[in-house]
Chains A and B, each alone.
Chain A
Amino acid sequence: MELKDFNSTDPVAWCPGCGNFGIQAALKTALVKLGRKPQELLLVSGIGQAAKMPHYIKANFFNGLHGRALPAAAAAKIANRELTVIVTTGDGDCYGEGGNHFIHNIRRNSDITVIVHDNQIYGLTKGQASPTSEPGMRTKIQPGGVILAPFPPLETALALGCGFVARGYAAEKEHLADLILAGIAHKGFSLIDVLQPCISFNKLNTFDWYGKRVYKVGPEHDSASKAAALALAEQRDRLPIGVIYSKPRPDYGELSGLDALPPLAGADISAVDIAPLLADFR
């Protein structure tokens, strides 16, 4: 596969210079390395700027409702476990509107890769606070500054037992591509929270701001250690990127018995025989 195999015909509607372009480039690079055809891939999203990604990469796509990408993605994977299912979502979509699904799909351990474009702001609705906005950040709705404590995605995922927790940075495309590939390879729910500057609305967490704080996790980090992972995830002054935690655990397909069945989508339903059930209702 080559990059052009994933070129979409749909014109991109993101702001020029948006951090989304870096994530798009990284995702395409990862897909080329993965080597699966667009027909074997499913990109799922909700609503927001990140959720437009499936329109901009050639593959099967399901652009559903705000906050509801995860249930649709988990179910599509149940329907056809041979698909590679990738969710592109944002901090508002995934941690705000869809927070309950975030919690429970980690518990469900659906074999999906979730890329959260975390720009710490609401872009599409023009600049309100998001669940990950920094306290004190002023917006039109929060003129006195954000007062709520930020939602900690990495720590939450770790606390829930998520088997793959990573953080990337939109400006580190090759590094992010590798994280995405590792997330796809992990059997189970893979979270990749991506630091993403929003050049239009977030004047606080800029490329410059991230540039001063982001650093790559080195080989000394034991990603199989939850304690080590939590120590990294809790850092606020500096922002580690890389695989924070990775440990295999049984995924939904294994736990539900789905893996023992032929893909549900291929089931022959022309002659389901319920006659043997009659005796149960006599």
Chain B
Amino acid sequence: MSLEINVRISGEAGQGVVSAGMMLCRMYKDSGRHIFAIQDYMSRIRGGTNFFQVRAAAVPVHSPREKCDLIVALDKDAVAANQAELAPGGLMVLDKQKYGIVELRERWVDVPLYALAQEAGGTIYANSVALGAVAALTGESFDDAAKAARREFSAKGGETAEKNAAAARKGYDYVSGHIKERLARVDAVPHGCDCLLAGSETLALGAISAGCKFYTAYPMSPSTGVMNTVADYAARFGIIVEQAEDEIAAVNMAVGAAYAGVRSMTASSGGGFALMCEGVSLAAMTETPLVLAVVMRPGPATGFPTRTAQEDLEFVLHAGHGEFARAVYTPGSPEECFLAAKRAFNTAERWQVPALIMSDQHLAESFTNIAFPDQAAEPPDRGRLLRSGADAPADRYAYAADGVSPRPVPGRPGPLAAADSDEHGPEGHITELAEVRVKMTGKRLHLKLAGLAKEALTPTIVNPGAKTMLCGFGSTLGVLRDACAAVRDAGFVHFPQVWPLPAQAALAGLQGAVRVLTVENNATGQLARLLRRETGLEVTGSVLKYDGRPFTVDEVTAALERGD
């Protein structure tokens, strides 16, 4: 028995790598293992070398491992591409005849994936044959593998599901009869976390739960996953999903619909978000609630379209011309994505500001097993939205002690709804007056920012007082968690919200630390700079990774032990 196993299935785009990965996830999850799975793929529709990597463990896991205990190569290129990732004692499954391999190396296991798939009905079933082979090699029961295959293909009809289950049978039986190598079975501990969810899905579920009724975006990896999930459920929840002609249209549509009283959302990634910046500024000036998710990928420009980075922290903190208040959420797990979406809708309406949610490819597309999100959390709070016009002040931008004026919407009796992107007086008309400008800046910027700061999400602080404290935001939460569990005398501070920055709480969490390191998926240590700017704290150093890949727990553990 072992505590965990790390299985990678690799092949070219179009070979069913993702389906195979999802089947592996469910096979291990449904038999009592915790899951953390990453997707690594190229920006192409066919070909290349992609992989889906599943870490299945007896305890909760939140980050990827470096080396794989089992690699399944679905084509010849995948053998060479993944050889270096094989852990000592690990196994590589390949199809010797199909790939034209003359001699098997040590720890290579020949399974005729394609001949067996052909027997099951066609080479398309090779991924299900592989599932069966993995099940047999890692001590899983065939029934669990078959159940996962049926679940994966149930939407395509019973016949497809059964053919895949039959293909899995062939892989399972072949290994049982012909292969003597085995990997230790992972301990199974029953757990209640039986949903398999990625960050983009929980972000979308959070938006649906928050009452989002209008979602508009222009497709861009890796932000599109959020739109896919909302679109899946749009009809059921009375949501209109509109694919905009460009990101500029998307953000202006989100603002227009929110102005008219609907909870609206848009999302994009680096370049698309760059196009949206003027709209962020518009939402601030018109004091219209805007919920916008920025799902990061490496730049500059087109960068790595399908890979991960945290390069846009400073960009998002400053996006949009002019000075105004905003909230920036940086959830670090699927659970936090759900809450961030719900919180962002409430914040945007309570304070009539842009509320931005930062995610990245790693968080958006990595699957983990969690309990279904608690939908009672963060019930909708629509702030000063006027439902009926009675007793409301006539001025849309009436000065208020906390900066937030009652918000009429068009189409209801009572005060008219004004919105102006020019500097305006309380009634919403264009002004050039200096004193009005100063008062409106106080309202939009100073008063709202002070209020937002009071409500900022507190950082997650684990092992305060440890000798080494790590700091991170967003998707590094998982790796911080796993690394600090593995190394003695290490703790971490994770920021689920970076603006307004809860500086005092963070400093308190770092007190007594000998070493403070930020862990960031960027090349410059943007969080370290933010901490210095807002708190005066100089961190000891930063563990940076900017190759487009997420941190592995091994990398962060090594940095801790090295004493960077």
Contact = CB atoms under 8 A, between A and B. Distances in A.
A151 interface: no
A161 interface: no
Interface stretch (B35-43, B76-84, B413-421, B454-462): B413-421
Contact of A269 (B213, B235, B259, B428): B213
A75 B260 contact: yes
Interface string B240-278: 101011101110111111111111100000000000001
Interface in B167-214: 194-197, 201, 205, 208-211, 213-214
B240 A256 contact: yes
B242 A264 contact: no
A274 B205 contact: yes
Given A39-B413, A100-B246, A264-B238, A272 B429 contact: no
A10 B429 contact: yes
Interface residues of B, number: 65
Contacts of B375: 272-275
Given A72-B252, A75-B252, A269-B213, A42 B260 contact: yes
A94 to B, nearest CB: 14
B3 interface: no
B272 to A, nearest CB: 14
B411 A83 contact: yes
Chain A contact patch, size range: 35 or more
B216 interface: yes
Nearest to B216: A75
A38 interface: yes
A239 interface: no
A173 interface: no
A274 B209 contact: yes
A48 to B, nearest CB: 12
B233 interface: yes
Which of B246, B256, B282 counts the most A-chain CB atoms under 10 A from its CB? B256
B245 A79 contact: no
Contacts of B278: 65, 68
A264 B411 CA distance: 12
B521 to A, nearest CB: 26
Nearest to B253: A75
A58 B260 CA distance: 17
A244 interface: no
Interface in A117-156: none
A269 B205 contact: no
B237 interface: yes
A227 to B, nearest CB: 28
Given A63-B422, A64-B421, A71-B256, A267 B410 contact: no
Contacts of A274: 205, 208-209, 373, 375
Contact of B410 (A42, A65, A70, A258): A42
B251 to A, nearest CB: 8
A38 B213 CA distance: 25
Interface string A251-282: 00000111001111111011011110110011
Contacts of A10: 427, 429-430
A60 B372 CA distance: 42
Most buried by B among A42, A72, A101: A72
B154 to A, nearest CB: 11
Nearest to B263: A269
Contact of B249 (A38, A101, A278): A101
A41 B411 CA distance: 7
B248 A39 contact: no
Given A41-B410, A79-B264, A103-B245, 6 more contacts: A9-B429, A10-B427, A61-B419, A257-B240, A277-B205, A278-B372
Interface of A: 9-10, 13, 38-42, 44, 47, 52, 55, 58-65, 68, 70-76, 78-80, 82-83, 100-101, 103-104, 108, 256-258, 261-267, 269-270, 272-275, 277-278, 281-282
* Cβ-closest 5 pairs across A and B: A269-B211, A72-B256, A79-B260, A75-B256, A60-B410
